Amino acid sequence: MTGHGHPHGPVRSEPRSPWLHGSWLRAIWVSFLFAFIAIGISAFIRYLLGFPLHGAEMQEVAATFGLTFWAIGFTVGIGCFDYWWGYIIGSPNWVQEDHSAHGAYSWRDYFKVNTDHKVIGIQYLVLTFIFFMIGGALAEGVRAELASPGTQYFSPGTYNGLFSAHATLMIFLFVIPSFAGIANFVVPLMLGAQDMAFPRLNALSFWLLLPGGLIFLASFAVGPFAAGWTNYAPLSVHAPIGDTFFTIGVQFAGASSIATAVNFLVTIVTMRAPGMSFWRMPLLVWANLATSSLVVLGTPFIAGSQFMVLYDRVMHTHFFDPATGGNVVLYQHIFWFYSHPAVYIMMLPGFGIISEIISIHSRKPIFGYRLIAFSTVAIGVLGFTVWAHHMFVSGMAPWLRIPMMATTMLIAVPTGIKIFSWVATLWDGVIHLTTAMLFALGFIFTFVIGGLSGIFLAVLPVDINVSDTYFVVAHIHYVLFGGSVFTIYAGLYHWFPKMTGRMYDERLGRLHFWLTFVAFNATFMPMHWLGLQGMPRRVADYDPRFATLNFIISIFAFVLGASTLVFLYNVIHSWARGPIAPANPWRALTLEWQVSSPPPIFNFDEPPQVVGGPYEYGVPGARHAIVTVHEPDPQFAGVATATAVAGSTLQREALLTAMKHILVVANQTVAGDALIDAVRERAGAEPLRVTVICPQNDPGGDWVTDDRQLAQATRERLDQTLARLREAGVEAAGEVVDRDPYTAVMDQVESSDPPAEIIISTLPQTRSGWLRRDLVERVRRDAKIPVEHVVVDVHQEPAAGA
């Protein structure tokens, strides 16, 4: 036990009403309040200036301010700013080291603002997967319309809205943020850090995403944005009000990515464990370093481009109006200056995931580690020099085309290096075809096709022919679905045991892979041919001679959609009922596998010492890092060793942290039957370790004792209890502490080995000094973990003597 006695109790004495404290309820009313105030103020100003308060102009203004402040209000209401606000106003309840929103103790915590990178990672993955399914449903709508030529289900305007929203959700709310989700969970662990550098900013990044996505979807209520995810001016400037929703939604998704990227950069640069030099970082970390740099440098450009469209729409600024000196092509330059790097933002993290998986599941060091790391950085740097390859036919300065072709082609070189290195890693490996590995191998195949079609598109005369045809649609899906989405699936399967503590079902996983792989290729491969034959992209209607092929494509597109359900079933079922996952099912070396599954709340008790490279498979005796886990009590170490009979030291350490930690607080009642039964009952349900504390003093009360005899008696009762618990198969340790009970409990809660649950045992109401001082209530309020109160009537229990 820590002996220091800093003043405890964030003393939050006011009752926590969900109307007033960070919650969904508050998020709803605050967001709409913000929106109405913003609309009200802008309407008032218009009134003062003599502008009409109705009509299209007013609607644009209302949408702009209403949506922006609605989204900001949402993040305020849900509680992202509570900590900072408490600091700003000097709230007496404000606590510097406030971990109250850290870690999840029940599924409900996933619906609240949380600062734990692991919780945030899962929040990201679940939310983005929901958007993936919505985006997928929109795509099925597109394919339904295209199953035969002519107009079937949707008017051309709605059709344009469908594919625009499809692409927007997939890019801004699925691929980009789900990589952020995986990285959030994995990267701090891989670095040996306890969390991200800025956990509260991390939470804010996540909560910005949801309003952004909802704004995109809300546009369907007013007529969806229909100028494509590229939102080219002047089409977007002239478009109806739905386009305003796009320009604003992008700002929130973009702000979310920028904040996350800054967080990753600082985390990766400053929070690596001792010994983790750059050349010992796992390749996923390298990938995130490069990606985050791209995001930080690039995303402001798309934000700028959408602000300019918004200003043109709402304030008539004429950035893109050639009649008044604006320039239409300017939009595309700004847009692609972000959106080309964005394609690498959507691919580099996937490359990182694949490097991890290929090496681990073929039990070989990654082939050419340094060259892969270099190629990642090279792609990141070159990525900023190729944007105009999306503009070869746009009417930009003609001389720019050949240099942009050259740089674009050069990017294929580092990309190729990665592919060849992965294939060489497989050579002579011990290849385990887990589902994660299947997706990784499938990815290599599909991504080579996507990369090669990219080279076709870079060769100017070929691009001039196939640009804006279905060939480009095929290319982007080979790189974004066959590329990014396959890597996301691979990563989800690979880290599923770590994230959930459960194993997924390999048979269902294999079924999912093969369904997806076959349906994917059958859907998108023929699109190359459609493009070569001259079918333009983004059309609701097409030449009847393409009818048969389009029909077949649509059928496979539905199969592809259905394959997602297999994944979904596997995840939900395994998460709830799957076999318990060991700490390190893949026998991997990187740090995230050296802690329990799921990892303990602060990941590592001590920064791990990194001693070697991350992929030293097959090197005798090689280790990447040494992980030390604090053992709460020496008594306890012996028991733990016995538990992990066959395990290595690492596994033993992991096991210790995996067991649920319960804190028992008792004094006179410590050997009571009711208490021991309560503990035993829990031990039946899951592996348990228990720390029992017997607080001796109560300075706040009216007595202070240094009665050695009394302490000795307590000690005896404690030992008796510990013995009985161990008999019952519970890992138990404990001590008599010289403090008041409240402080003693809070010391434990905030220690580096916090309990997941507390049991307070007291005498019945009338005879308990602790109850008179509301101990249970105070602990419940401040500890924020489940607290059970057990009443032991010592005089009725024969066993509890003394």
Per-residue mark of binding to Cu ion, 317-356 (x: CB under 5 A): -----------------------x----------------
Question: Nearer Cβ to ligand HEM, position 434 or 446?
Answer: 446
Part of the chain binding another protein (CB under 8 A), chosen from 23-31, 62-70, 414-422, 623-631 = 414-422
Q: What is the b/e burial string over 342-375, where b = at least 16 CB atoms within 10 angstroms of the residue's CB?
A: bbbbbbbbbbbbbbbbbbbbbbbbbbbbebbbeb
Part of the chain binding another protein (CB under 8 A), chosen from 270-278, 455-463, 514-522, 679-687 = 455-463
| Contacted entry of another protein, ligand HEM, Cu ion, none for residue 347, CB cut-off 5 to 8 Å set by kind | ligand HEM
What does the alpha-carbon distance between residue 683 and residue 669 come to, in Å, rounded to a whole number?
Answer: 20
Return the C-alpha torsion angle 251, 257, 259, 263, nearest 10.
180
What does the alpha-carbon distance between residue 58 and residue 5 come to, in Å, rounded to a whole number?
Answer: 60
Q: Both ends of the chain: CA-CA distance in Å?
A: 26
The footprint of another protein on residues 151-170 (CB under 8 A) is: 155-157, 160
Give me the residue whose beta carbon is nearest to Cu ion.
Answer: 340
Part of the chain binding ligand HEM (CB under 6 A), chosen from 307-315, 477-485, 569-577, 612-620 = 477-485
β-pairing, 660-665 with 688-695?
parallel
Please report how close the Cβ of residue 600 comes to another protein at its closest, in angstroms: 27
Which pairs with CB-CB distance under 8 Å and at least 24 residues apart come from 647-654? 650/583, 650/584, 650/594, 651/582, 651/583, 651/584, 653/594, 653/627, 653/628, 653/629, 654/583, 654/584, 654/594, 654/595, 654/596, 654/629
- For 5, other C-beta atoms within 10 Å of its C-beta total 12
Part of the chain binding ligand HEM (CB under 6 A), chosen from 2-10, 34-42, 150-158, 468-476 = 468-476
Query: Which residues face 580 on adjacent strands?
Result: 502
Residue 230 interacts with ligand HEM (CB under 6 A)? Answer: yes
Residue 408 interacts with ligand HEM (CB under 6 A)? Answer: yes
Please report how close the Cβ of residue 74 comes to another protein at its closest, in angstroms: 32
502 close to 581: Cβ distance less than 8 angstroms: yes
Residue 541 interacts with another protein (CB under 8 A)? Answer: yes
Output the CA–CA distances (angstroms, integers) from residue 454 to 34, 386, 458, in the order listed.
46, 12, 6
Question: Nearer Cβ to ligand HEM, position 332 or 435?
Answer: 332
Question: Nearer Cβ to another protein, position 325 or 634?
Answer: 325
Give the length of the chain.
802
The footprint of another protein on residues 193-232 (CB under 8 A) is: 226-228, 232
Please select the residue that binds ligand HEM; options are 373, 457, 485, 530, rule is CB under 6 A: 457
The footprint of ligand HEM on residues 132-191 (CB under 6 A) is: none
What does the alpha-carbon distance between residue 458 and residue 413 come to, in Å, rounded to a whole number?
Answer: 13
What does the alpha-carbon distance between residue 332 and residue 319 come to, in Å, rounded to a whole number?
Answer: 12
Question: Nearer Cβ to another protein, position 18 or 156?
Answer: 156
Question: Nearer Cβ to another protein, position 440 or 662?
Answer: 440
Residue 455 interacts with ligand HEM (CB under 6 A)? Answer: yes
The footprint of ligand HEM on residues 699-758 (CB under 6 A) is: none
384 close to 638: Cβ distance less than 8 angstroms: no
What does the alpha-carbon distance between residue 344 and residue 380 come to, in Å, rounded to a whole number?
Answer: 7
Part of the chain binding another protein (CB under 8 A), chosen from 129-137, 275-283, 495-503, 531-539 = 531-539
Angle of CA points 549, 553, 554, to nearest 5°: 120
Residue 537 interacts with Cu ion (CB under 5 A)? Answer: no
Please select the residue that binds another protein; options are 117, 143, 166, 401, rule is CB under 8 A: 401
Nearest to 390 by CA among 341, 319, 356, 347: 341
What does the alpha-carbon distance between residue 273 and residue 625 come to, in Å, rounded to a whole number?
Answer: 9
What does the alpha-carbon distance between residue 696 and residue 710 come to, in Å, rounded to a whole number?
Answer: 9
Burial class of residue 249 in the structure, from the number of CB atoms within 10 Å of its CB (0-12 exposed, 13-18 middle, 19+ buried): buried
Residue 363 interacts with another protein (CB under 8 A)? Answer: yes
- Using CB under 6 A, count the residues that bind ligand HEM: 24
Please select the residue that binds ligand HEM; options are 476, 650, 658, 662, rule is CB under 6 A: 476
Which DSSP string do the residues of 288-308 spell out, in sequence order?
A: HHHHHHHHHHHHHHHHHHHHH
Please report how close the Cβ of residue 225 comes to another protein at its closest, in angstroms: 12
Residue 555 interacts with another protein (CB under 8 A)? Answer: no
Nearest to 592 by CA among 498, 463, 660, 475: 498
Question: Nearer Cβ to ligand HEM, position 58 or 371?
Answer: 371
For residue 386, give every residue at least 6 positions away whose Cβ sits within 8 Å of its Cβ, in sequence order, or none.
340, 404, 407, 408, 411
Please select the residue that binds another protein; options are 87, 105, 468, 719, rule is CB under 8 A: 468
The footprint of ligand HEM on residues 322-351 (CB under 6 A) is: 343, 346-347
Please report how close the Cβ of residue 784 comes to another protein at its closest, in angstroms: 42
What does the alpha-carbon distance between residue 184 and residue 200 come to, in Å, rounded to a whole number?
Answer: 13
- Using CB under 8 A, count the residues that bind another protein: 87
Please select the residue that binds ligand HEM; options are 219, 288, 421, 467, rule is CB under 6 A: 467
Please select the residue that binds ligand HEM; options are 117, 143, 364, 389, rule is CB under 6 A: 389
Nearest to 522 by CA among 477, 457, 489: 477
Which DSSP string do the residues of 440-468 spell out, in sequence order?
A: HHHHHHHHHHHHHHHHHHHSHHHHHHHTT
Burial class of residue 398 in the structure, from the number of CB atoms within 10 Å of its CB (0-12 exposed, 13-18 middle, 19+ buried): exposed
What does the alpha-carbon distance between residue 775 and residue 796 come to, in Å, rounded to a whole number?
Answer: 23
Per-residue mark of binding to another protein, 59-98 (x: CB under 8 A): ----------------------------------------
Burial class of residue 751 in the structure, from the number of CB atoms within 10 Å of its CB (0-12 exposed, 13-18 middle, 19+ buried): middle
Residue 410 interacts with another protein (CB under 8 A)? Answer: yes
Residue 127 interacts with another protein (CB under 8 A)? Answer: no
Please report how close the Cβ of residue 459 comes to ligand HEM at its closest, in angstroms: 9
| Tokens 């209000």 sit on residue | 73
Please report how close the Cβ of residue 647 comes to ligand HEM at its closest, in angstroms: 41
Please report how close the Cβ of residue 586 comes to another protein at its closest, in angstroms: 11
Residue 51 interacts with another protein (CB under 8 A)? Answer: no
Residue 549 interacts with another protein (CB under 8 A)? Answer: no
Question: Nearer Cβ to ligand HEM, position 344 or 593?
Answer: 344
Part of the chain binding ligand HEM (CB under 6 A), chosen from 3-11, 453-461, 560-568, 587-595 = 453-461
| Contacted entry of Cu ion, another protein, ligand HEM, none for residue 532, CB cut-off 5 to 8 Å set by kind | another protein
Positions touching Cu ion (CB under 5 A) are 340
Positions touching ligand HEM (CB under 6 A) are 230, 343, 346-347, 389-390, 408, 411-412, 415, 451, 454-455, 457-458, 463, 467, 472, 475-476, 479-480, 483-484
